[in-house]
Homo-oligomer: A and B are copies of this chain.
Amino acid sequence: MLFEGAEKRLEMVIDDASASLRGFTGEFWSSALAKAGAEILSTQTNADCDAYVLSESSLFVWHNKLLLITCGNTSLVDTTLHIVKSIGIDHIVWFSYQRKSELFPHLQATRFEEDIARLKQSIAGQAYRIGDLDSHHHYLFCSAPSAHSQYSCALQLYHIKGDVADYLCGPQQSKDTILSLLQLGVIWPEFTFDDYLFDPMGYSINGIHGREYITLHITPQQPSSYVSIETNMRAGHRLMDGLNSLITVFKPSSWDVVGINASLSHYEFMASQLLAQTHLVLNDTNTLYISHYKPRVSEPLTVVSL
């Protein structure tokens, strides 16, 4: 029952001269995703975006932009190289490939350093590690200086607990109940949602609203319980009220905020303590912000009999 919730993340933007990414067929995406070991489970679409729930996380495709997030033991680097080759490297004006440190690194097919060695054969760029090796850390590889400015904000919640966490590990679950527990439709009613409940547990949901997206993935099982939330909603009370509501629901023992040009440092998470943060200027137009939080009230260390 070990499941690696920690994600790999590919984001790329193409130039205006290129054909729309939405012109690629469903078959193209399916065969590209198969190289990572992932498949499409559900699709929704609006005028701006095609949003796919995958067997491991999510894919969003806009006319000029692609966001692909995969968890588990997927080899996202293989899908990435396939897509880059199909689009043509000269048409890519922003490229970033990220990996969150895993809970079970020994079960992964590759390490970040190995992925980067392969990517660098096709894509010029710079790789970073943010955070120490003995704490949560984040790897990022991004393309050489680009004028294209990105925007995204991701939350990674570690070790969830409480009634909702218990329900999500329970024997009888339904999508309707989970939706009502999460209250996403109440928090952000302007979005349309598409969700998937995994067997025996695990839950993914995508929301889209014009060019805006939100994606939330839950790995409820111990010892790797984990929730990720990502959106391009602008920082502000609309975003913070929702995130605080989700933190209240999931009761994580700590969480990270990873923003590209999105800093939440002017806002407050309720009853929390900022343990560490940094920002990293990636190029003239893009800065990465990472912050690590925990609840103000400290918890005992976990003890597990092996």
Contact = CB atoms under 8 A, between A and B. Distances in A.
A109 interface: no
Interface string A199-236: 00000000000000000000000011000000000000
Interface in A274-306: 274-278, 280, 290, 292, 294, 298-306
A295 to B, nearest CB: 11
Given A112-B306, A129-B306, A130-B304, 6 more contacts: A104-B133, A127-B306, A132-B158, A274-B298, A276-B299, A278-B303
B103 A105 contact: no
A113 interface: yes
20 contacts: A105-B105, A106-B106, A106-B111, A128-B304, A128-B305, A129-B303, A129-B306, A130-B301, A132-B159, A132-B301, A134-B158, A275-B294, A275-B298, A276-B298, A277-B300, A277-B301, A278-B300, A278-B301, A280-B303, A292-B301
Contacts of A306: 112-113, 116, 127-129, 139
Contact of A290 (B106, B134, B301): B301
How many residues of A sit at the interface, in one of the four size bands? 35 or more
Contact of A128 (B101, B135, B136, B303): B303
A253 interface: yes
A305 B141 CA distance: 10
Interface in A98-146: 101, 103-106, 111-113, 116, 126-136, 139
Chain copies in the assembly? 2
A interface majority secondary structure: mixed
Contacts of A103: 133-134
Contacts of A111: 106
Nearest to A111: B106
Contacts of A278: 300-303
Contacts of A294: 275
A260 to B, nearest CB: 15
A141 to B, nearest CB: 8
Contact of A301 (B116, B224, B276): B276
A133 B223 contact: yes
A21 to B, nearest CB: 29
Contacts of A101: 134
B302 A132 contact: yes
Contacts of A128: 303-306
Given A106-B106, A275-B298, A298-B275, A133 B224 contact: yes
A254 to B, nearest CB: 8
Nearest to A6: B134
A294 B292 CA distance: 14
